[in-house]
Structure 1
Amino acid sequence: MQLLAIGECMIEMSGGEDGCWRLGFAGDTLNTLWYARAGLHPADGPVGYFTALGTDSFSDRIVDFLDEAGIASGAIRRIPNRRPGLYMIEQKDGDRAFTYWRDTSAARGLADDAEALRAAMRDARMIYLSGITLAILPAEGRARLLDALRAAREGGARIAFDPNIRPALWLDEVEMRDAITAAAAISDIALPSFDDEARWIGDADPAACARRYAAAGSGEVVVKDGAGPVTILSEHAMTDMPVPPAAKVVDATGAGDSFNGGYLAARLNGSTPVEAARAGAAMAARVIAAHGAIIDLPETSDWQTG
């Protein structure tokens, strides 16, 4: 398998105009995998998603959605009497507002079975997760996931990690920082966002953020900074890559996730970190020019089975 993403796929309800809502499916790690497909080819191996879902009709619809997109879903755990999380996006005061229902989502049990975790990761060239993946798990599940990732890395997989800091999902900031640092320590690629890191960790600038993740153990650090330059620390060399101005901004949802997808696909294909950052920035520019976290791209047609 070229790339396995681990996290939570949620039911997305967007719109709300005239009481009408559009149903979709999204989640930060799924969004990244969605866009990584655009730079990969099925002839080089499958891509897959690992999570936990229920046995209800909406969980079935998520599996069908993944299968039709050419994303391997066979390893997903199915937990009776549990359901996917849900969130709604509506416009308030000229901006997007999000409301979540995820406290008892099936995805919180994705790491309950250690053998299922290890089986899902087997033969993956790269495994991608985020701070949200860690945050939704109970402490014992989080430890189980990190153990499985260490074993996969020892077996040759590369680990990619976006801290995606969301304090509301954590018990407290100490737990959040400790878990993110533990994941960074076993990551070959870290993909933090400077605005999150500055606000919650206190980094003075993107370079300080990159050095902190490198000191924690991340071999390659790529710091996103909105429309600002991407800061890359790799093999002890620091590079600032300017991001071309976006021609059109319609919806910033998924900007960081799509950058990650473009970046990871390029790295899997042998691009240098700077070349991969250019690919990531180009992907993000396409995504923010349209509505929604997940948009269709012509390059993914080879993957689609539906």
Structure 2
Amino acid sequence: MLGDLVEDVVVWVDGPLRHGTDSAARVFRRRGGSAANVAAFASGSHPVRFLGCVGPDPVGDSVVAELGGHGVDVRVQRRGRTGSIVVLIDQDGERTMLPDRGAATMLEPVPEEWLDGLTHLHVPGYSFDGEPVGAAAVDALDRVRRAGGTTSVDASSTGMLEQYGRERFLALLAELAPTFVFANRSEAECLGLLVDGLPGPARARLAATTVVTKAGAEPTTVDVPGRASFAVAVPPVAEVRDLTGAGDAFAAGFLAEYLEGADLRRAAEAGHRSAARVLASPGASVG
């Protein structure tokens, strides 16, 4: 996994935000960052390495130690200031994020030994937004692919896609030709990969890529090049309090199962099981 390793400040708001005055809330501090989340969730099922950048500061020390405590092989450059993200969670579990990614954007091209032995590299879309991390992500994906490995990219968020540029992101995906693209329905529609539940006009530009589209409690669609797409039902979940990290947990479960030799349906089912574990806990954590 290559990408952000930051501190999440997760705020569970008790009722609507009251502008200009106090609003009751519970506040949690957690290790965060999309790529770091995927690494942590996948580590119990498959060997995982994380590549990123944090500051030479106590927060950086803390998040590196926490991620390493999951059994992840953590490789980080040190410069700048470790990033933080404020995550506001409403009573329905939906997130509003206020990111200050800090040192996460300062990752420079990684040494060859950091990629030695990797058979798959996963990069969230956030990692393309900013420099020098964007160039480092493209370079690492290219090196892993040329070495015979598989790759995946997560569309990350509609806000990020709009800031980066829809057409620019699609052109990047076409250039990278990842094995998998993960997106939720809103992200897939934003990119033109999905229109009214069917493959959209941009789908043909990713002719070598399997597109995995999540839709909350509705079935996940797996669209494989040259084959009929299929849907995988999402099992019911007893409680949904915080959606933070659910997409990362899905990607982790999917990729770990796939890399252990499972077919795509079983991989998606594993993704659903993994995502269900985080929905009642603050941030990208398991209660």
Superposition pairs for residues 71-82 of structure 1, below 5 Å?
A: 71-73=72-74, 75-79=75-79, 82=80
Higher share of residues assigned helix: 1
Q: Does 1:236 align with 2:231?
A: no
Q: Which moved more, 1:9-18 or 1:61-70?
A: 9-18
With structure 2 as the length reference, what TM-score do the two structures score?
A: 0.84
> What is the CA distance between 1:250 and its match in structure 2?
2.3
Of 41, 44, 60, the residue aligned with 1:38 is: 44
> What is the CA distance between 1:241 and its match in structure 2?
1.8
SS at match of 2:218: coil
Do the aligned partners of 1:132 and 1:166 also contact (CA within 8 Å) in 2? Answer: no
Change (3 A) 1:190 1:94: closer
Provide the residue aligned with 2:4 in structure 1: 8
SS at match of 1:25: strand
Do the aligned partners of 1:52 and 1:76 also contact (CA within 8 Å) in 2? Answer: yes
What is the alpha-carbon distance in structure 1 between the residues aligned to residue 117 and residue 193 of structure 2? 38
What is the alpha-carbon distance in structure 1 between the residues aligned to residue 178 and residue 278 of structure 2? 26
- Code of the aligned partner of 1:245: P
Provide the residue aligned with 1:198 in structure 2: 189
Q: Does 1:187 align with 2:178?
A: yes
Gaps of 5+ in 2: 14-23
Change (3 A) 1:69 1:21: same
What is the alpha-carbon distance in structure 1 between the residues aligned to residue 88 and residue 155 of structure 2? 26
Provide the residue aligned with 1:107 in structure 2: 104
Of 211, 214, 222, the residue aligned with 1:224 is: 214
Change (3 A) 1:215 1:77: same
Provide the residue aligned with 1:55 in structure 2: 56
> What is the CA distance between 1:100 and its match in structure 2?
2.8
What is the alpha-carbon distance in structure 2 between the residues aligned to residue 194 and residue 251 of structure 1? 18
What is the alpha-carbon distance in structure 1 between the residues aligned to residue 50 and residue 6 of structure 2? 13
What is the alpha-carbon distance in structure 2 between the residues aligned to residue 180 and residue 218 of structure 1? 13
Change (3 A) 1:38 1:215: same
Higher share of residues assigned strand: 2
- Code of the aligned partner of 2:82: P
Do the aligned partners of 1:191 and 1:222 also contact (CA within 8 Å) in 2? Answer: yes
What is the alpha-carbon distance in structure 2 between the residues aligned to residue 38 and residue 130 of structure 1? 20
What is the alpha-carbon distance in structure 1 between the residues aligned to residue 164 and residue 281 of structure 2? 35
Provide the residue aligned with 2:264 in structure 1: 273
Gaps of 5+ in 1: 41-45, 297-306
> What is the CA distance between 1:253 and its match in structure 2?
1.8
> What is the CA distance between 1:83 and its match in structure 2?
1.0
Provide the residue aligned with 1:145 in structure 2: 137
Q: Does 1:165 align with 2:170?
A: no
What is the alpha-carbon distance in structure 2 between the residues aligned to residue 232 and residue 171 of structure 1? 27
